A and B are shown apart, each in its own frame.
Chain A
Amino acid sequence: MKAYVFTDQALASEAGRFVWLEIDTEKAKNAAIRKRLNIAALPTFFVMDPADEKIVMRVVGGMNVAQLQKMLDDGHALTGGGTLAGGSPADAALAKAERLNGEGDDAAAAPAYLEAVRLAPPNWPSYGRAVESALWTLSQIDSNARAVALAKEALPRIGTGVSSANVAASGLGSALALPEEAPGRAADVAMFEKKVRAVLDDPTMPLAGDDRSGLYISLLDARQDAKDSVGAHQVAEQWSKFLDGEAAKAPTPQARMVYDPHRLSAYIEIGHPEKAIPMLEQSQKDAPEDYNPPARLALAYKAMKKWPEAIAASDRALSMVYGPRTLTVLNARTDIYLGMGDPANARKTVEKMIATAESFPPGQRNERTIESLKKKLAGMPPATP
């Protein structure tokens, strides 16, 4: 969004309609607002009514310019207790669902979105968003069977736009999350997989490059679920080639670096982590104060079993990282030490993770993470033979 959407001149006319606030959730100073916003995934976008500080709208995940403009229009309309343009019973139901979702109440928001979908008149402009939001909230409360049923019902009606891609991918994810013995699971997975493949084969679909990358990930999940290692490798090869093409077209280093984590994952999937090294070294030069390139270099070197290089990259990342992401960098470092046969330093690193996790303020501190790290430490090999 930062590299490709918020830079779009089509949004310039929106500047005066809102106060625009960006919150880096890794910073300790933002812990209180992070807690208040009840964030389940990143990025998440909100519209807040400043009068009572209530969230009137919440969207999880990236949007293109048109989707963002729709969110801005609807969020503006809902501020101050307003209703959505259109005035139909479906609009009223959607407004109620948006407010419940804004409060972070997935269990109440999911049936409210389903009610809006049920009431949707023909050609309702909010149909796609209502279905996508229903699918997201259903996935958050583990109602995967209901999500699969909704995605199947919505796909024929939703047309061929971006929402169809999101619904197909979300339906595939929910179908894969069902127990293997669930009736109809295999047929549903196959149907959604075909839809996702069709979206990827359509070059006119106005999807952001990283969203297309997400579709490859969905297909990879499906092939791995089917234990089809040859098919999974083919998808990974296509994914890697696609990402290299997108990165080559990126207009700025920042835009190119959006693809770094995707490319690293794809290179690891195809068994060539070494392909990530020149890319990440370039990113390190372009953004010398960013901890991400060295953190990713540590992962690439770990996959290559080049332990001293992995530790050196991890050192550089640790000198810059802050907030909860520190735990991810330390976790990779633990695996590096274990890989190189150094259980003493692996234990020390987990001990450091526990101390770091316990030092976070409310909003960043996560008791389940602390508990799981303590369990991990208890199960680790002893430091000395």
Chain B
Amino acid sequence: MRFHSGVLIALALGTLAAAPAPHKKSVLPFIADDYAKALQEARARKVPIFIEAWAPW
């Protein structure tokens, strides 16, 4: 969901917490921070790449 907001100065420090807090595992096999590897694998398997651009905040 996307919002305009003039309120949240503190939310400038973000909404997502980073590892290593204990958490449930993703059911999707994400490759972390390696675009070249993802591209090579997608070309070999002939499937599209799903990309999540995020930040640990």
Contacts and interface: CB of A to CB of B under 8 A. Distances in A.
Interface of A: 1-3, 6-9, 11-12, 14-27, 29-30, 33-34, 37, 39, 41-51, 53, 56, 60-62, 72, 75-76, 79, 136, 139, 165-166, 169-170, 173-174, 176-177, 207-208, 210-211, 214, 217-218, 220-221, 224, 251-255, 257-258, 260-262, 264-265, 268-269, 283, 286-292, 295-296, 299, 323, 325, 328
Interface of B: 1-35, 38-39, 41-43, 45-57
A302 to B, nearest CB: 10
B57 to A, nearest CB: 6
Contact of B11 (A46, A176, A262): A262
Interface of B is mostly: loop
Given A50-B42, A218-B3, A253 B23 contact: yes
Contacts of B19: 254, 287, 289-290
A51 B57 CA distance: 32
The interface centre, meaning the residue of A18, A41, A262 with most chain B CB atoms within 10 A of its CB, is A18
A17 B52 CA distance: 15
Given A26-B55, A75-B48, A257-B21, A328 B13 contact: yes
Contact of A22 (B12, B32, B45): B32
Contacts of A291: 18, 56
B47 to A, nearest CB: 6
Nearest to B27: A12
A173 B49 CA distance: 32
A20 B29 contact: yes
B17 A53 contact: no
Nearest to B2: A61
Contact of B48 (A12, A18, A217, A283): A18
Given A6-B27, A24-B56, A287 B18 contact: yes
A257 B57 CA distance: 10
